[in-house]
Amino acid sequence: MEIIHFSAECYPVAKVGGLGDVVGALPKYQNKLGHVAKVVIPAYQTKFFQQHEFEVVYDGWVKLDFTNYQVRIFRELTNKLGFDLYLVHIAGLLDREKVYGYHDDVSRFLAFQIAALDWMAQWEHLPDVVHCHDHHTGLIPFMMGNCFNYTKLNQVPTVLTIHNAQYQGQFGWDKLYYLPPYDLWNSSKLDWGGAINPLAAAIKCAWRVTTVSPSYLDEISHVANGLENLLAQERGKSAGILNGIDNEVWNPQKDPMLFKNFNSRTVESGKKANKEELCRVFNLDPNKPLFTFIGRLVDEKGADLLPEICYQALAQSQGEINILMLGSGDPGVEDRLNEITQHHPGHYNAYIGYNESLSHQIYAGADFLLMPSRVEPCGLNQMYALRYGTIPIVRRIGGLKDTVIDIGDGGFGICHDQTSIWDVVHAIGRAYALYLNQKKMKEIRKFIMALDHSWDSAAQQYIDLYQLK
Ligand code: ADP
- Per residue in 209-247, pLDDT (tens digit) is 999 999 999 999 999 999 999 999 999 999 999 999 999
CA-nearest residue, atom 4 of ligand 1: 17
359 lines ligand 1 (CB under 6 A): yes
Ligand 1 pocket member 398 (CB < 6 A)? no
Q: Would the CB of 59 count as within 6 Å of ligand 1?
A: no
Does residue 295's CB lie within 6 angstroms of at least one atom of ligand 1?
Answer: yes
Neighbours of 413 (CB within 10 A): 25
Atom of ligand 1 at shortest distance to CA of 356? 25
Whether the per-residue pLDDT at 194 is higher than 90: the answer is: yes
> Atom 8 (ligand 1): residue with closest C-alpha?
18
SS (HEC) of the chain: CEEEEECCCECCCECCCHHHHHHHHHHHHHHHCCCEEEEEEECCCCHHHHHCCEEEEEEEEEEECCEEEEEEEEEECCCCCCCEEEEEEECCCCCCCCCCCCCCHHHHHHHHHHHHHHHHCCCCCCCCEEEEECHHHCHHHHHHHHEHHHHHHCCCCEEEEECCCCCCCCECHHHHHHCCCECHHHHHHCEECCEECHHHHHHHHCCEEEECCHHHHHHHCCCCCCCHHHHHHCHHHEEECCCCECCCCCCCCCCCCCCCCCCCCCHHHHHHHHHHHHHHHCCCCCCCCEEEEEEEECHHHCHHHHHHHHHHHHHHHCCCCEEEEEEEECHHHHHHHHHHHHHCCCCEEEEECCCHHHHHHHHHHCCEEEECCCCCCCCCHHHHHHHCCCEEEEECCHHHHHHCCEHHHCCCEEEECCCCHHHHHHHHHHHHHHHHCHHHHHHHHHHHHCCCCEHHHHHHHHHHHHCCC
The residue-averaged pLDDT of 119-145 equals 98
Ligand 1 pocket residue status of 362, Cβ below 6 Å: no
Cβ neighbours, 10 Å, residue 175: 15
Q: Is the pLDDT of residue 22 over 60?
A: yes
**Residue 436 CA, ligand 1 centroid: distance in Å:** 29
Judge whether residue 469 has pLDDT over 80: no
Phi-psi map region of 440: left, alpha, beta (phi>0 left; psi -120 to 50 alpha): alpha
Residue nearest to atom 27 of ligand 1 (CA): 295
Query: What are the tens digits of pLDDT across the range 261-279?
Result: 999 999 999 999 999 999 9
Index of the ligand 1 atom closest to the CA of residue 296: 20
Does 266 sit in the ligand 1 pocket, CB within 6 Å?
no
Report whether residue 294 contacts ligand 1, using a CB cutoff of 6 Å.
Answer: yes
Across residues 170-198, what is the average pLDDT?
A: 97
167 lines ligand 1 (CB under 6 A): no
pLDDT the model gives residue 65? 84
CB 261 less than 6 A from any atom of ligand 1: no
Length of the chain: 469
pLDDT tens string 133-154: 999 999 999 999 999 999 999 9
Cis peptide bond upstream of 214, omega within 30: no
> Does position 202 have pLDDT exceeding 90, yes or no?
yes
Q: Ligand 1, residues 306, 328, 375, 380: which to mutate, most atoms within 8 A of Cβ?
A: 380
Which domains can be identified in the chain, with CATH numbers? 2-245+456-466 (3.40.50.2000), 267-449 (3.40.50.2000)
Distance 67 CA to ligand 1 centre (A): 36
Which atom number of ligand 1 is nearest to the Cα of residue 19?
Answer: 2
Q: What is the pLDDT of residue 211?
A: 98
Residue type present at position 454: S
Q: Which atom of ligand 1 is nearest to the CA of 21?
A: 14
Cα 418 to averaged position of ligand 1 atoms, centre (Å): 21
State the first-to-last Cα distance of the chain, in angstroms, to the nearest integer: 13
Residue 285 class from Cβ within 10 Å (0-12 exposed, 13-18 middle, 19+ buried)? Answer: middle
Most ligand 1 atoms within 8 A of CB, residue of 292, 378, 381, 388 to mutate = 381
User: 161 CB under 6 A from ligand 1?
Assistant: no
Q: What is the pLDDT of residue 468?
A: 66
pLDDT for the residue 50:
87
Whether the predicted pLDDT of 362 surpasses 70: yes
Mean pLDDT of 387-411: 98
Mean pLDDT confidence for 181-210: 98
Does residue 387 carry a pLDDT above 70?
yes
Is pLDDT at 21 greater than 80 in this prediction? yes
Question: Beta strands 290-297 and 322-329: pairing type?
Answer: parallel
Average pLDDT over residues 51-70: 95
pLDDT over 90, % of the chain: 98
What is the mean pLDDT of the segment spanning 47-71?
95
Whole-number Å distance between alpha carbons of 130 and 117: 11
Interior angle at CA 247, CA 241 and CA 253, nearest 5: 155
Contact of 382 with 301, CB cutoff 8 Å = no
Q: Answer yes or no: is pLDDT of 47 > 60.
A: yes
Q: Read off the pTM.
A: 0.95
